[in-house]
Chain A
């Protein structure tokens, strides 16, 4: 924090500071109390509750619901560093407005009654020129704004964030027993209020014990877990008196152990820096049932009959919070100032969500953590599992989150399938469990040989399906089925769907079901083509397709521009069918000037085993020029071709 004195610098970590350049709006700038002030880690768009034309940006900070959202969305250890306004004029006034809004929101989020002494950042972006101005304000009292012209866009921001920090994770399932009179069932809500209040009090009770340990490392030198007693912890609000101390040599005292003590990730080699790969510290909440009391009374049981009709209800909360702490932060602060407030906030948010339907619905709220592309830190979203993911209400929730975080609106990034698996399988990232298929076999192939061409590839990942897999002999007839399976695997891996990749027989069944084929088709060895594929994609995934027909293979190079456009905008793999063999097209390399082009073909006719080298050497996945060096045409001139272009679903 030394550099705040004289030379003020704004550090920008987030890859995309301005989410929407041309529409007026406000974004919260997220920093961390543990990093130097005026550091922007990420940004969250402010969504106004009403879309009135006068942009009163403080509204979000006033609306408690929005503030609550932000409270659980961000892990503890991150907070509002300032605000950014996109406006047409009046730079100074908008900067003051932004700083004011940010301070007010910070006040609400921190629960502290005390004055906000930290610096705040106001950024104004000219909606027309796109020029960015940075202003800083020292404290609430000082009204003067200071223009900051030293802006550092941090290179490798993930490293900056995760090299000096770690993630605390705390999982706490709570089961509350609620009794309420049948006559007056609204009392149930009061009881729940009291129960959650009691939980919050108990989290700060001297009897509570927090066990802190390293996560997921099985090496021999794992530090022993440390127990912090509630009586030793300071639960007062605010970070003002935390002194990240570097005094070593006092590690014997559990109070003074730093977070660093539990960060055991191997720093040698080339470590990966991301939220998923960050050092993780597990915090468990326990109750000390042997706390010394002046006297211990022998057990006694008392029975209290209910004098009016009463009912009993259990309410479950499955709390899971993440917090960010720098490694030089003492553990006891990490627990009392980050993990515990995080638990309390999440409990309150869930309670408020449950209350209106307490007796009507058995609520299943679950927190999920995501690390969407472009956002440096994990975010936490609470979903109600009673609703299906595709129900409109949930889609709206996700859409608004995409909007807030500046994520693209045409791909699912915040579905449950995208969630980080921080709490169960430690360190094991298994996107597709049990799958032994090769993924993304095109990686590492030789270049196409098109000089001066522009490569347009599909986006994402797929699994390579080909002949003879799963000991199923489909050689000679199953190539289109395999191509379809590859395409469906793409939709699976992109989390558009969670259905299993269908077998040949299941594909045939679908075609019979929709009336395209006769029942005798099931179990047959009949070919299918691009049109059948589009039926199955529509039926299974609701995906529509565009079809390009060419009468001769000679016409295909002409379609390169259209195909390149598809890969850029849709990014889905293309199936090539038609008069002869079926292929999967993963990309094109096209020189617009001389028309030279090559096609990245994934060939389902491969019958060997899943060995990457063999596949590449055999040319089963590789760039194919329309006319190869020997003058041979890859696409036959006397055959027609159908190209099936699946359209990326416009969904989140």
Chain B
């Protein structure tokens, strides 16, 4: 996705506010709550930039606050020393904002990116906090990198109280943060969400990863998978695409605005993960499954962009799932236990499977990556979340509330679960798997997963439908009666 910031001509970066709508033509938005304090939100972008507010951090403290010098200096980060009335400045919990950005970007589908932050604060406080804001922008850029485009700029939107006014600035990431890094840029509003095109792809893969005996770089299960994903990403990049049955050959925009089905054609049997010859192996990983992927594209953009976005979304989705497993493992790991370590069969340890050292494993073990589920968001756009086998749909709701400030009644939402739970581990041995293109995973587990599905539906209490996504999108479009405004930001590079 060409980031609007990088585009020499004014392009479409829209910013629909997530909640009760701002007048598209007359900023500031008419929010139905006045923020009790300045809030740093993360505009999502590309094609639409949308604002995504957040509230409090883990400790229950605001992630962002205006520090008045007259007050007792509770926040150590305060830099305001002047006694002047407008010497107030912002304190921002950068790590928290960055973590938020990271988690939000994980929920975004292809074509949607975290491109910057917005801050709702008075003029003077803004001016006094340029450095802090710049650091925050840098932090979110690190936490939610834009993979495809190598852009060293992010956007900083300032919404001031009075007069109510939106200003947009480019924030360069390249050098040290000074006010000179902030360059004003044009800021326009427009309706883009409704003209977005949706691309959907089910991507099936089945990889065999040899684990070499004397290799130093791959040690744990997740290391091996991470390596495999990065290798596979290269292969995926060379894939050809068929959209709605037609091979993508030219760069014309897609004519119709329905849901487009993308099929990816990969090189035939070009096993990129295999390298070298006659190496000793300790085992093999069978890494397989399906990724349900979506991407959104502005109607004016070439169709090859959609293909690129789908490919990126597939890889990011796989990486996100792995990240989630690692995050959880990190959380669980008790530092004192870490050394008790790997027993003779590698399984007695308290380490989660994902952190096991594969060389020491003597038993077959499996690691189910979380399932991807989709939640309707703005217009008929979806966001995604990941569900581990032990989790219920409540987790998704919480994520939506916490991270995207979704206030919708979840009972009325249809959460899409196109991916079923991975089938139960088949009794297979090394040689079954290592045999070239060994028999495909049997389908005997289908009954298991469907029972799981119903159980889950009961506990979660949400409407679970695995119906055709087309139907649901259409239905959801009707449900969504809230009118959403858009901000079109056109950025001019100076």
Contact = CB atoms under 8 A, between A and B. Distances in A.
A392 B272 CA distance: 36
B269 A175 contact: yes
B247 interface: yes
Interface stretch (A295-303, A400-408, A581-589, A631-639): A295-303
Contacts of B431: 179
A191 interface: yes
Contacts of B151: none
A175 B208 CA distance: 13
Given A191-B435, A296-B420, A310-B281, A225 B286 contact: no
A313 B278 contact: yes
Contact of A304 (B205, B372, B421, B430): B430
Contact of A312 (B225, B269, B281, B432): B281
A305 interface: yes
B283 A306 contact: yes
A174 B287 contact: no
Given A176-B269, A287-B269, A298-B290, A211 B422 contact: no
Given A211-B247, A313-B277, A313-B278, A298 B270 contact: no
A301 B221 contact: yes
Contact of A305 (B271, B361, B418, B435): B361
B262 to A, nearest CB: 7
B434 A299 contact: no
A25 B166 CA distance: 93
Contacts of A471: none
B365 A179 contact: no
Nearest to B437: A198
Contact of A208 (B263, B268, B318, B446): B268
A301 B279 contact: no
A298 B364 contact: no
A362 B276 CA distance: 11
Interface in A591-649: none
Given A177-B210, A182-B280, A311-B281, A202 B269 contact: yes
Contact of B369 (A194, A203, A300): A300
A357 interface: no
A311 B366 contact: no
B123 interface: no
A233 interface: no
Interface stretch (B61-69, B95-103, B196-204, B397-405): B196-204
Contact of B291 (A174, A299, A304): A299
A503 to B, nearest CB: 41
B247 A195 contact: no
Nearest to A176: B436
B270 A289 contact: no
Contacts of A178: 436
Contacts of A5: none
A297 B286 contact: no
Nearest to B387: A298
B289 A288 contact: no
Contacts of A179: 210, 281, 284, 430-431, 434-435
A302 B427 CA distance: 11
Interface string B423-458: 101001111111111000001001001000000000
B264 A175 contact: no
Given A288-B264, A299-B291, A314-B277, A306 B204 contact: no
Interface string B367-397: 1111110000000000000000000000000
Contacts of A286: 239-240, 265-268
A311 B240 contact: no
B436 A191 contact: yes
Interface string A252-285: 0000000000000000000000000000000001
B203 A304 contact: no
B240 A307 contact: no
A300 B204 contact: no
Nearest to A180: B434
A436 interface: no
Nearest to A227: B247
A313 B274 CA distance: 8
B358 interface: yes
Contacts of B370: 298
B292 A304 contact: no
Interface in B312-327: 318, 321
B476 interface: no
A313 B431 CA distance: 14
B428 A304 contact: yes
Contacts of B429: 304, 307
B282 interface: yes
A302 to B, nearest CB: 4
B363 interface: yes
Nearest to B370: A298
Interface in A111-146: none
Contacts of B249: 224-225
B437 A202 contact: yes
Contacts of A219: none
Contacts of B57: none
B143 interface: no
Given A289-B204, A290-B263, A299-B287, A305 B269 contact: no
Contacts of B211: 303
Contacts of A182: 280
A393 to B, nearest CB: 23
A310 B446 CA distance: 33
B281 A298 contact: no
B283 A304 contact: yes
A500 interface: no
B164 interface: no
A311 to B, nearest CB: 5
A303 B276 CA distance: 21
Contacts of A224: 247, 249
Contacts of A287: 265-269
Contact of B433 (A174, A290, A296, A302): A302
Interface in A205-238: 208-209, 211, 224-227
Contacts of A291: 204, 263
B339 interface: no
B436 A194 contact: yes
A309 interface: yes
B460 to A, nearest CB: 17
A273 B185 CA distance: 62
Contact of B422 (A288, A299, A306, A311): A299
A194 B431 CA distance: 12
A225 B203 CA distance: 23
B285 interface: yes
Given A175-B271, A306-B281, A313-B277, A300 B289 contact: yes
Nearest to A203: B268
B194 to A, nearest CB: 27
B362 interface: yes
Contacts of B430: 179, 304-307, 310
A288 B425 CA distance: 26
B337 interface: no
Contact of B285 (A203, A294, A298, A303): A303
A304 B431 CA distance: 9
A319 to B, nearest CB: 10
Given A301-B369, A312-B210, 6 more contacts: A172-B268, A226-B247, A291-B204, A296-B420, A302-B433, A303-B366
Give 7 nearest A-B pairs by CB, closest first.
A296-B290, A299-B289, A195-B436, A300-B422, A179-B434, A286-B265, A290-B263
Interface of A: 172-179, 182, 191, 194-195, 198-199, 202-203, 208-209, 211, 224-227, 285-307, 309-314, 359, 362
30 contacts: A179-B281, A225-B247, A285-B268, A288-B263, A290-B242, A291-B263, A293-B204, A295-B420, A297-B289, A297-B422, A298-B420, A298-B421, A299-B287, A299-B422, A300-B422, A302-B286, A302-B287, A303-B221, A304-B285, A304-B432, A304-B433, A305-B282, A305-B358, A307-B430, A310-B280, A312-B210, A312-B277, A314-B271, A314-B275, A314-B276
